Structure 1
Amino acid sequence: MNKPTCWFPAKRYGWGWGVPTCWQGWAVLAVYFVLLAGVIFTVRPEREPFHFLLAVTGLSAALVAVCWLKGEPPRWRWGEKKR
């Protein structure tokens, strides 16, 4: 009855995750984009390129970590097998 759900299903083709399937996944994506917008508007890449790159890389790494923990196991997928 209490089946664990994955927040991010695997993509059908390629490596990685698709769009979220539950509200928790959408909340994670919303927080990521809000924080990313905050970085874009507060850290100017022309003045502080290292800090900007570090902030964007850190946020993206955090998103990948959540996807890794709460999504289907990542592997290369070639789509469904034809019968």
Structure 2
Amino acid sequence: MTEDDGAWFAPKRFGYGAGLPIAWQGWALIAGLVGVSMALVFALAPAHQGYLAIAVIGINLPAMPLIAKKTRGGWKWRNGRE
């Protein structure tokens, strides 16, 4: 990270949203979300696929405002010219 602005994620060059993590906190958040999601897959997939979708969305959706807040420049549409 070249700037000490507290950002955890780089902005995407094209489109809307966050790019790759640029700080250890971003990597830790992504690893935690993937870990919890995978645990839910193994726990719920064999018997309750409907509950699995709800659970994975329920885990990842609340993290989106934090990811948006911690993205350098925020979330906005980017067309590659910035």
If you compute each CA radius of gyration, which structure gives the higher value, 1 or 2? 1
State if a TM-score over 0.5 links the two structures.
Answer: yes
Aligned residues: 78
Structure 2: any 5+ residue segments left out of the alignment? none
Tell me how large the CA RMSD over aligned residues is.
1.6
Match of residue 77 from structure 2:
76
* Higher percent of residues as strand: 2
TM-score (ref. length: structure 1): 0.82
SS of equivalent residue, structure 1 residue 18: strand
Question: Deviations for 1:52-79, whole angstroms, at most 9, x for unmatched residues?
Answer: 1111111220331221121131111000
Deviating 4+ runs (over 6 angstroms): none
Shift of 1:4: 3.0
Structure 1: any 5+ residue segments left out of the alignment? none
Measure the CA separation in 2 of the matches of 1:66 and 1:55.
19
Match of residue 48 from structure 1:
48
TM-score (ref. length: structure 2): 0.83
Instruction: Indicate yes or no: 2:66 matched with 1:66.
Output: yes
Measure the CA separation in 2 of the matches of 1:7 and 1:80.
22
Over the matched positions of the two proteins, sequence identity in percent amounts to: 28
Measure the CA separation in 2 of the matches of 1:4 and 1:30.
22
Measure the CA separation in 1 of the matches of 2:36 and 2:49.
17
